[in-house]
Amino acid sequence: QLPMLLSAARRLELPRRALTRSVWSQSRPMQVRQVYADGRVEQHIMRPLEMVSAFKILPRDLRLLKTRGANIAVRPDYFLFRLPPFTGCVRRDSCLLLTDGPSAATDVLQDSLLSQIKLPTEEDQLQTSPFELRVLETALREDLLSKQERFTRLAALIHTVSAQRGGLASPSRHGSHGLAPRSSLFVAATYAPREGTEH
């Protein structure tokens, strides 16, 4: 039964792998959405080196776009984040959201960010956070929600398959090496955070 669960989980993982692939390519143009602190949005299509020239970021920062794990790189006047599937560069007055094509996940992040800009809460009005911090908070929140959603789907799949195959039998059948502990270990290994910080 465990191989069946692993196979089903791998099928569920396919979209995740697609989301965590690098958005950087030497020859492929990137879609760049520039969200300003006043709510304006501009869209550009450019190659990575063109983006370096246009937005004055360091060429070595392009390496961040190649990472698969979570990463935040802080520079003197901006910072970059890679929280797959979200990638961006944030300055005090605007944020660049980067993708290598149409991205529903980036659509969600952009909408959430615009909501924070255009519809501030009473608390925000009394104590306005810097734009850069609001962008980071929004990206981290959407990243967490995305991971929770994937975990919930995987947990539901494991429960369904286990129930269908009798995997929820009493401990006397499986002993201390039953399906549930191995499934828990698999979930923990699959969703263990891969984080790093580039300096």
- Residue 26: predicted pLDDT: 56
- Residue 91: predicted pLDDT: 93
Q: Report which secondary-structure segment, H or E, holds 171.
A: helix 171-174
> Whole-model pTM?
0.62
CATH number where 79 lies:
2.40.128.330
- d(CA 127, CA 140) in angstroms, rounded, equals 20
Q: What is the pLDDT of residues 36-93, one digit of tens each?
A: 999 999 999 988 888 888 888 888 888 777 777 888 989 999 999 998 889 999 999 9
Cβ pair 32, 43 in contact under 8 A: yes
Q: What is the pLDDT of residues 174-186, one digit of tens each?
A: 444 444 444 444 4
Structural tokens at position 70:
């979570």
- Host domain of residue 16: 2-198
Of the pLDDT bands very low, low, confident and very high (cuts 50, 70, 90), residue 22 is very low
Domain count, the chain: 1
